[in-house]
Amino acid sequence: MSEDNKCDGKPLIVLEDVWKIYKMGEVEVPAVQGLSFKVMPCEFISIMGPSGSGKSTCMNMVGCLDIPTKGRIQLEGRDISSMNESDLAQIRGKVIGFVFQQFNLMPNLTALENVKLPMIFQDIDPMDRDERAYDLLKQVGLAKRVDHKPKEMSGGEQQRVAIARSLANDPDVILADEPTGNLDTKTGEEIMGLLSELHTQGKTIVMVTHDTKLESYVERVIRLRDGKIMENGE
């Protein structure tokens, strides 16, 4: 499929009147309330809002880490709202790549081993895993750091490893949760430049952040407050 065709067509992600309600004893606490929006293939969007606005809850549901209390979420045309954990795990492994604020690297593994890890769960051939992991680390500028463990790398380098890992299974969607939150300004700009480059290569990127300075990197901003959409950028 050509890049142009890949970026056309039906929405990749669709939320329809999505609610997530947590029970605290007898009290119901709505984390998100009636979210409805679409993400098209190859879009770079940001879900923005202050702490407690519901943006991380929203990302967890889009990322198949949680399911809504009510409403519907479609990912690549499949309704993930009521899937069991096994089916959600399969979709997470194949369709979605995650980048977290805390990097979430395995501390006892090298950069190469961390990037290979998602491929193991998809039964990719060991020789192919080694080659692909090295190529991805080279792509993010870490060809000379493949044998280093996280404690031997800077925060920016660890986030680059995390981005390489998110690409391990060639996912259609990258979900980035506060990707610059633990980085200084210059390193944060480098990471955003890397995400922008991946976007130009055809990746769909959904970024969650409270940092309004990152708006300039994205095509559309969805603003949340108190679990509701204040603006969806359309």
The pLDDT of residue 197 = 95
The single-letter code of the amino acid at 64 is C
Q: Are 140 and 160 in contact (CB under 8 A)?
A: yes
Contact partners, residue 231, CB within 8 Å, separation at least 6: 221, 222, 223
Percent of the chain with pLDDT over 90: 80
Q: Is the pLDDT of residue 158 over 50?
A: yes
Share the mean pLDDT of the chain.
92
Least Cα distance to 97 among 62, 132, 131 occurs for 62
CATH assignment of 42-65+93-231?
3.40.50.300
Q: In the numeric block, which tokens belong to residue 14?
A: 């669709």
The pLDDT of residue 58 = 95
Backbone dihedral angles phi then psi of residue 90, each to the nearest 5 degrees: -65, -45
Assessment of whether the complete model's pTM goes beyond 0.85: yes
Q: Are 179 and 191 in contact (CB under 8 A)?
A: yes
The pLDDT of residue 234 = 67
Q: What does the pLDDT look like over 118-149, one tens digit per residue? A: 998 888 898 899 999 999 999 999 999 999 99
The pLDDT of residue 148 = 97
Domain edges within the chain: 42-65+93-231
Q: What does the pLDDT look like over 188-231, one tens digit per residue? A: 999 999 999 999 999 999 999 999 999 999 999 999 999 999 98
Cα distance between residue 233 and residue 42, in whole Å: 16
Q: In the numeric block, which tokens belong to residue 183?
A: 């980085």
Mutual angle of helices 126-139 and 155-166, in 10-degree steps? 130
